[in-house]
């Protein structure tokens, strides 16, 4: 799908990969609906971009997700691309993982993308076309001590994404998955603060812009996935 004049709904657009994706989509001629909780950041970004709307959204609340979809349609008359990007890490040895934190991250990283998919489908089906990019993690392709709880949530997302691709193949809705490697965002800075370092001598983190371009490439190509994990880092 050519992003030009298409309408993107991007979750987690207030920082990092989501904000970079909004900028990249906008630069490619798209209209963007920016969804996240930090409304001040969304509004600042929307003010920078032509044809951009900020919608304060907690993606773990289905009513707020529906409101974001409704806003996209009201503002721009259609909704072509969903980028399920909002997400959070949870890094600790499994025996130390707080199960309430785990439930919360499952809700954000797994349940919320499914809710968002369900919310956009009626619009995309009616249009006869749509694209969804789920932002997973290279971590879900590795067995990495200290990252098991987070990787489990992204592994669940991978399966939802792959099955949705098959289920929607006849509807013109193309679902793809991107697997970013360590990316220099607030998320990664938290990891470093928590001492979960990249391997010594390993490659430098990606930029958010690099991942954003991969997301745009998936929208353009409709390919099933883009794995941004360097050689030697797979499981």
Among 55, 86, 173, 216, binds ligand NDP (CB under 6 A): 86
Q: Which is nearer to ligand NDP, 173 or 211 (CB)?
A: 211
Among 9, 10, 16, 131, binds ligand NDP (CB under 6 A): 16
* Rounded (10°) angle between helices 148-167 and 112-127: 20
All residues at 6 or more sequence positions from 86 whose CB lies less than 8 Å from its CB, including other chains = 11, 12, 18, 35, 36, 59, 108, 112
Q: How far is the CB of 50 from ligand NDP (least distance, A)?
A: 21
All residues at 6 or more sequence positions from 176 whose CB lies less than 8 Å from its CB, including other chains = 131, 132, 133, 134, 161, 165, 218, 219, 222, 223, 224, 225, 226
Instruction: Please tell me whether residue 72 binds ligand NDP under the rule CB under 6 A.
Output: no
- Residue 179 annotated in active site: no
CA distance 18 to 200: 28
Token code pair at residue 68: 């974001």
CA distance 213 to 235: 25
* # residues contacting ligand NDP (CB under 6 A): 30
Residues 230 and 181: beta-carbon distance below 8 Å: yes
All residues at 6 or more sequence positions from 195 whose CB lies less than 8 Å from its CB, including other chains = none
Q: Which is nearer to ligand NDP, 15 or 127 (CB)?
A: 15
Contacting ligand NDP within 107-146 (CB under 6 A): 108, 135, 137-138
Q: How far is the CB of 115 from ligand NDP (least distance, A)?
A: 11
Contact map string, positions 87 to 106, toward ligand NDP, x by CB under 6 A: xx------------------
Q: How far is the CB of 183 from ligand NDP (least distance, A)?
A: 4
Q: Which residues are near ligand NDP by CB under 6 A?
A: 11-12, 14-18, 36-38, 57-60, 85-88, 108, 135, 137-138, 180, 182-183, 185-188, 208
């Amino acid at each position: 799908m050519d992003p030009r004049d298409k309408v993107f709904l991007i979750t987690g657009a207030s920082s990092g990969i989501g904000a970079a994706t909004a900028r990249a989509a906008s630069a490619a001629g798209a209209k963007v609906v920016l969804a996240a909780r930090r409304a001040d950041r969304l509004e600042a970004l929307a003010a920078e971009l032509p044809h951009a709307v900020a919608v304060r959204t907690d993606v773990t609340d289905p009513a707020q997700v529906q409101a974001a979809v409704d806003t996209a349609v009201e503002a721009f008359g259609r909704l072509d691309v969903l980028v399920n990007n909002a997400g959070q890490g949870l890094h600790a040895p499994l025996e130390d993982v707080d199960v309430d934190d785990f439930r919360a991250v499952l809700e954000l990283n797994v349940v919320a993308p499914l809710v968002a998919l369900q919310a956009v489908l009626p619009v995309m089906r009616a249009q006869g076309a749509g694209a969804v990019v789920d932002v997973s993690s290279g971590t879900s392709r590795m067995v990495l001590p200290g990252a098991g709880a987070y990787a489990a949530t992204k592994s669940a997302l991978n399966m939802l994404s792959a099955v949705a691709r098959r289920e929607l193949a006849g509807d013109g809705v193309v679902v793809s998955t991107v697997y970013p490697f360590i990316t220099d965002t607030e998320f990664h800075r938290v990891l470093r603060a928590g001492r979960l370092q990249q391997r010594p001598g390993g490659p430098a983190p990606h930029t958010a812009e690099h991942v954003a371009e991969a997301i745009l490439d998936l929208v353009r190509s409709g390919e099933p996935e883009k794995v941004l994990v360097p050689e030697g880092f797979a499981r």
